[in-house]
Amino acid sequence: MVKRGREDPNGDESALGMCTAGKWVRGTSTLPKVFDQPKGSKLELIWKDKQPVGPRKHPSLFSESIGVLIATARRFDWTKNWELQDGGHKQWLWDTIKESWELEETWKDPTLGPISGDEFRNKKSKWKRNFYTRYTTYEERLSHRPPQLSPEEWVQLVEFWDTPEHQAISNRNKANRAKQIAKHTAGRISFPQFEEIMSEEAGAPPSLGDLFVRTHTSLKTHDALDDQSRDYIDKMKELAGRDEEGTQQPLTNEIYRQVMPPERHGRVRLKGRGVTPTSYFGSRLSSDNRVNDLENQVAEMQRVAQEKEEERQREIEEIRRQAQEKDEQRQHEMDEMKRQLNARDADMEARLMQKLLEMTATCSRPFSD
């Protein structure tokens, strides 16, 4: 941490390094413990499921060091998502971070993907909260700039946040965050790290219920941070029950699934990113719901089959119609040929009769001397 005088959250300001107005707060970190190591010395990381889980404080330090490089590099476009950043700049980040950490090439994708993406979003979120949302006018926002950004970068970012498109996305995300009523106490420690810590302590991986209690209970008060988390924990403990000596029974995965509502079974924080509810938590559908789901699937299959049959019948009818038209056309042609033949025969017969009449008239005329 770099200690310096900074703008007071209430609006007062203090000059750097002075203790008049304002407060002594965390300044722009340079992470000397990472970047000022002796030449050739590197920090160790232990990986599991494409995420660093140890040693104890190193995963958080690793993420923080990536955030420092991203924020101070002056290479990245803060108006674009991390996925749209220049590939050459991402390669620079990988090459630079390897100078301080022991990294294998197999960890390149998760480092430049979800881990760096999280740090990129976190930086923007903090800047927006501390230097943009706190003020109401364009001029005020421009006059309060994060020290890591140049004036040009800050103007570009402020104007990007001012656009109606971004405002709509921001309002939607704010509404989604308001639904996250169960607050965790993990801080910068990921859930996989907590699993690793609890596994080392107990000698076995923790259940989902134990992991939830550990990550939603304050170490200081030994109580949940909010009523919703407290209600979840109480219900799990009630279902698990106690033994004859009054000892709390284990909170199994099944008990966790019984208590947690479906909306809690979304993406698991830092649990491999993109983990689906069924792949991690398992299905929570009751037998009735499974039957209904199966019936819906059967009905859908029947509907599709009916549509295909109707389409097949339409095709058959079309073939029949075309065949009938061809038959009618052929019959019409045959009738026309027959009519022409009959007309020709009648004409020939008329001519023949005319000849016979002429011959008869000639034969019946008297001979002259």
| Global pTM value | 0.57
pLDDT along the chain (369 residues), means of 10: 43 38 54 87 89 87 93 93 94 95 94 92 93 94 94 95 91 76 73 81 88 87 87 91 89 87 50 47 48 68 82 86 88 89 88 86 66
CA gap 150, 75 in Å, rounded: 11
- Please report the pLDDT score of residue 262 as a whole number: 62
Taking alpha carbons only, the member of 251, 240, 249 closest to residue 216 is: 251
Asked whether residue 43 falls in the same domain as residue 172, the answer is yes
User: Which of 154, 179, 204 is the last residue in one of the domains?
Assistant: 179
Q: Quick one: 36 and 128 in the same domain?
A: yes
CA angle 198, 204, 206 (to 5 degrees): 50
Report the domain count for the chain.
3
Residues 55, 134 within the same domain: yes
Q: Are residues 277 and 291 in the same domain?
A: no
Domain identity same for 271 and 290:
no
- Any domain includes 90: yes
- DSSP state for residue 129 in the 8-state scheme: I
What pLDDT does 293 receive? 60
How many CB atoms sit inside 10 A of residue 311's CB? 10
Q: What pLDDT score was predicted for residue 280?
A: 47
Q: Is residue 16 part of a domain?
A: no
% of residues, the chain, pLDDT over 90: 32
The reported pLDDT for the residue numbered 360 is 84
Residue 293 and residue 161 share a domain? no
Q: How many CB atoms lie within 10 A of CB 189?
A: 19
Q: What tens digit of pLDDT does each residue of 118-137 get?
A: 899 999 999 999 999 999 99
Q: Is residue 338 part of a domain?
A: no
Q: Residue 339 domain-assigned?
A: no
351 domain residue, yes or no: no
* Nearest-10 crossing angle of helices 87-97, 58-72: 130
Q: Which residues pair with 4 in a beta bridge?
A: 25
User: Are 214 and 271 in the same domain?
Assistant: yes
In a domain? residue 22: no
- Considering the domain architecture, whether residues 271 and 314 belong to the same structural domain is answered as no
Same domain? For 78 and 49 the reply is yes
- Which residue is associated with the tokens 């017969």? 349
Residues 149 and 45 in one domain: yes
Q: Report CA-CA distances (Å) from 154 to 132, 142, 144.
A: 10, 7, 9
Q: Considering the domain boundaries, does residue 217 fall inside one?
A: yes
Report the C-alpha gap between 5 and 19 in whole angstroms. Answer: 7
Domain that holds residue 304: 286-332
> Do 120 and 255 belong together in one domain?
no
Minimal CA–CA distance to 115: which of 54, 58, 52, 171? 52
Asked if residue 51 is part of any domain, the answer here is: yes
Q: How many CB atoms lie within 10 A of CB 340?
A: 10
Same domain, 175 and 308: no
What's residue 33's pLDDT? Answer: 87
Last residue of a domain, one of 238, 255, 281: 281
